[in-house]
Structure 1
Amino acid sequence: MTDLVVDRTDGVLRLTLNCPDRLNSVTTEMFDAMSDALADAEGVRVAVITGEGRAFCSGAVMRPDATNTGILDAADRLIHLITEAPFPVVAALNGLTAGIGSSLALASDFQVGKDSDYFLQAFVNVGLMGDGAAHELIAASIGRARATRLLMLGEKFPNTEAYAAGLITHCVGADDWQATVDALVEKLRTGPTMAYARIKRTINAAALSNLDETLRTETAEQTVLGASADFAEGVAAFTEKRRANFTGH
């Protein structure tokens, strides 16, 4: 079984995270494969990112002995490709959206979530900070106060609240979710691709004007945090299913 299923049919590029046993937590290799698929997008009119099982993406694979080597650079490349793609990208949020999975969703142009699911920025719970431009993507959508709460407190953010706050574009009942995704993808597939590309580029130029700087800052700061005693303690506590004892070092 491959960790990423890539399908190209009738102008639709579908990227399906396919690790349901680990809630679609991602690796550097998976990000690289997604980027390669988006970069080779001849004839694509719309792309869909989704997950198999009960999670969209639960974040990066957590390893007790090491970080996911190279994943920050791989994530930066993927975020750029999603935001710069000359076609709409739909994040079909089939379940939990957490960690770097949040950045994948929010970098996309549309997010279709279920009203029973939620976002979670849990980096802080292991002594880290958001990455994948999370700080800009979230703040640009819902403002500084909500971004601070989401990123610093590591609380669940229900999709119903995310939609009301303007973080995602669609939130529907589970029974209507697939039909909503299908209808949106079909509308975009048959719509004016040139206009979509220019609308997307103009919106992102205005709303995500500091994307490059944010990605560089996150990478630098996350590298420092990844070498900290707090991160080592956070991962150990996560693995041992206990409360972390952070010391600020």
Structure 2
Amino acid sequence: MTVWIEEDGLPGLGVARSGGAVRIEFRRPESLNAFDTATAKAFLALLQRLGDDDTARSVLITGAGRAFSAGADIKTQFADASARAVIEDELREITTPTILALRSMRKPVIAAVNGAAAGLGCSIALAADLVLAGESAFFLLAFANIGLTPDGGASLLVPARVGLGRAFVLALLAERLPAREAVGWGLADRVVPDAELRGTAEELALRLAAGPTLAYAATKEAINRSTLGGLAGALDTEARLQGALATSEDFLEGQAAFGEKRPPRFTGR
């Protein structure tokens, strides 16, 4: 039986190792692992540290409880006007380097999606190299529901996986895409029974950790260059657009409707 040794915890995160494999677990289950600022900063710092750690040969990302991640924690991150005013800065200073760290990391990254991968949570999952999903998992670009545009690189990562038309379906309709349909679309790579997701993902992380890491790094660099060369530009555009949308009446209405659990009434202002 493989033993995973827990390391010191970080805000909202659990970290464990088994040989050269590192498992990162989002641990804010009471909020469906939504990201507050402290957790987002801790996740970025951890990824940057692992990128420089030659003993870490593969990385597995998953979520505790009922979700992978519900995305940004709207209740805490955008609670007042001062918080909304810095959304572009936070995207540039935290979200952008997080996605770039995942894509540039010279070791395989696996996302094991349990339950919801919504908003930024969906973007993070798609920034991994391999995406496994439990049978009850679903993917959701929920941004339009609160008057925002996809961020976290989703404007490029999603069409790179599913094509232009399906990217617009996901982004404009903001509807859940169940795991099996996600695999059929190419948004996820494999679907496994919920009870087997953690074990299957851990076995894959250990297998990759024992593999030819130099070749994996070169393969990742080559595929990044041929398919995702515009990622930094996409992230820059997302941050600029999101910064403008954060001051719109539609976003205020989207937030209010979310908190009140009612359909939003958008006006285009």
TM range (shorter): over 0.9
Q: With the length of structure 1 as denominator, give the TM-score of the two structures.
A: 0.96
Q: 2:18 touches 2:206 (CA, 8 Å); kept in 1? A: no
Which stretches of structure 1, 4 residues or longer, exceed 4 Å deviation after superposition? none
Separation in structure 2 between the aligned mates of residue 140 and residue 175 of structure 1, nearest angstrom: 30
Q: Which residue of the partner structure matches residue 246 of structure 1?
A: 266
Question: What residue in structure 2 maps to residue 189 of structure 1?
Answer: 209
Aligned to 1:55: 67
Counterpart of 1:71 (choices 66, 90, 96) is 90
Paired residues in the alignment total 249
Is the aligned partner of 1:104 residue 2:96?
no
Letter paired with 1:58? A
Contact 1:27 1:71 in 2 (8 A): no
Q: 1:148 aligns with which of 168, 175, 180?
A: 168
State yes or no: 1:231 paired with 2:251: yes
8 Å contact from structure 1 (residues 45, 188) kept in 2:
yes
Q: Residues 55-81 of structure 1: CA distance to partner in whole angstroms, max 9, x if unpaired?
A: 000010013424485531211110000
Q: Name the amino acid aligned to 1:195.
A: A
Match of 1:36 in 2: 45
Instruction: Tell me how far apart the structure 2 counterparts of residues 94 and 191 of structure 1 sit (CA, whole Å).
Output: 26
Kindly indicate whether the alpha-carbon contact (under 8 Å) linking 1:17 and 1:51 is maintained by their aligned counterparts in 2.
yes
User: 1:189 Cα shift?
Assistant: 1.0
1:113 to 133, 141, 150: 133
TM-score by length of 2: 0.89
1:92 aligned to 2:112?
A: yes
Once residues 95 and 24 of structure 2 are traced to their aligned partners in structure 1, the CA distance between those partners, rounded to angstroms, is 15
- Retained in 1: the 8 A contact 2:20–2:206? no
Contact 1:237 1:243 in 2 (8 A): yes
For the residues of structure 2 that align with 1:17 and 1:178, how far apart are their CA atoms? Answer: 13
From the superposition, tell whether residues 128 and 29 of structure 1 become closer, same or farther in structure 2 (CA, over 3 Å). Answer: same
2:196 is matched with: 176
Q: Which runs of 5+ in 2 are unaligned?
A: 1-8
1:73-115 CA-partner distances (Å, limit 9, x unpaired): 2111100000000100111112211000011100000111012
What residue in structure 1 maps to residue 6 of structure 2? none
Preserved CA contact (<8 Å) 1:8 1:14: yes
Q: CA deviation at 1:28?
A: 2.5
Corresponding letter in the other structure for 2:21:
V
The code of the aligned residue for 1:205 comes to R
**Structure 2 residue identity aligned to 1:229:** E
Alpha-carbon deviations, 1:109-148, whole Å to 9, x = none?
0111012221111110110010011010000000000000
Using the aligned pairs only, state the percent identity.
39
Q: Deviations over 1:150-177 (max 9, x none)?
A: 0011011111111111111111121332
Partners in 2 of 1:96 and 1:165 — Cα distance?
Answer: 17
Whichever residue aligns with residue 56 of structure 2, its letter is V
Partner of 1:7: 16
CA contact (8 A) 1:6 1:37 kept: no
Query: CA offset at residue 8 of structure 1?
Result: 3.6
